[in-house]
Homo-oligomer: A and B are copies of this chain.
Amino acid sequence: MKNEYFKNSVGQVATRTYVIPEPESITFDCGKTLPHIQVAYETYGELNADRTNAILIVHALSGDAHAAGYHSPNDRKPGWWDNMIGPNKCFDTNRYCIVCSNILGGCKGTTGSNSLDPQTKKPYGMNFPVVSIRDMVKVQKKLIDFLGIQKILAVSGGSMGGMQVLQWAVDYPDRVAGVIPIATTATLSPLSIALNEVGRKAIMSDPNWNGGDYYDRTPPDAGLAIARMLGHITYLSDESMMEKFGRRLRDKEDYSYDFETEFEVESYLHYQGEAFTRRFDANTYLYVTKAMDYFDLSRETGALEKTFENVQAKFLIIAFSSDWLFPPYQSKEIARALRTCNKEVSYCELSSSYGHDAFLLEEKQQTLMITHFLQNLEEECEKE
């Protein structure tokens, strides 16, 4: 039964860790450094002899290094992109070596605000340096160096993962042949900043947050759950919520005329919010949303086309029709800027009612686009 379960999967996998040696440590955009940074990562498939078949997968806000497979035979759920990564899947582990690491500032094995500060022997809490998308990518680059990969075949990820993808293409132009940013943006919109700030306010207004110092006491679960509920709403669409929940009541036919959980959509959000508090750290939520807020690829150069001037990677940009968090026009803007400086770019708007979550759910449409793109990359890399 378990074998059946694993059949279309990379099977049982384990998270490994790499610690960046202190002399090689990175300097954060904010100017700070940390003594040694641990990186949690997983790999699926084998590196070929030339080490030219590596694909780096980068995750979104609440993701982790566990992108595919199962950690134990009893795991109920596989990694977060298991429908896209595995034998004969989009990111085909018979063909490619897939690498995925938890982001800097994350709470899933890579150093972050819930990690122990070696100086105080207590969690960093709000003493952790503010992290940027570029900082996350600097750490990924250290991991790729450690793995002995000179040139990554492709970097891909959705949402905040897509931001890291773009940053890779800009910061390490000669280290990546192709990039696949999905459901993302080159510049976080004020709408997204605003939504992030509501989530942060919910956490920081929770008395249990206690200035971020809650690791030996009750954490700010109520605030974190509210932030997650709001997040979930932005990952869906008006249409998908109508399909999924409609106005159905939970376990009854008539209005109860009270303030208990009543509509199915409320019940879903309460569950998602509560479940999130069991697997995610509230301070991390603050840091990661702040990294997104700061993301603006045109900020330093004044124009996106200037930022992209030295890019060498080929681009496949994917957006989804019903995504209102990172609407297609934001992906089109990336494509426009790349074309302006004569870069190779394919832009594809996929039709989906799933909203922003489509990047996790629409594996068929994405697989069609991505497998062709990867094959072309391989052929061109062989020619070189």
Contact = CB atoms under 8 A, between A and B. Distances in A.
Contacts of A246: 190
Contact of A226 (B194, B202, B257, B324): B202
A189 B226 contact: no
Nearest to A201: B226
Which residue among A30, A129, A194, A205 has the maximum number of chain B CB atoms within 10 Å of its CB?
A: A194
A241 B190 contact: yes
A378 interface: no
A190 B265 contact: yes
A266 interface: yes
Interface in A85-133: 126, 129-130
A126 B258 CA distance: 9
A269 interface: yes
Contact of A191 (B31, B226, B241): B241
A265 B205 contact: no
Given A257-B129, A258-B130, A230 B198 contact: yes
12 contacts: A126-B259, A130-B257, A189-B242, A190-B245, A190-B263, A191-B233, A193-B263, A194-B269, A198-B230, A207-B207, A238-B324, A247-B296
Interface string A256-286: 0111001101100100010000000000001
For this complex, into which size category does the number of interface residues on chain A fall?
35 or more
Contacts of A30: 255, 257
Which residue among A223, A225, A286 has the maximum number of chain B CB atoms within 10 Å of its CB?
A: A223
Contacts of A244: 190
Nearest to A197: B266
A65 interface: no
Contacts of A324: 238, 324
Interface string A213-237: 0000000001101100110010010
Interface string A174-211: 00000000000001111101110110111011110000
Contact of A265 (B29, B194, B269, B286): B194
B247 A197 contact: no
A209 to B, nearest CB: 11
Nearest to A266: B197
Contacts of A64: none
Interface in A271-315: 273, 286, 290, 293-294, 296, 299
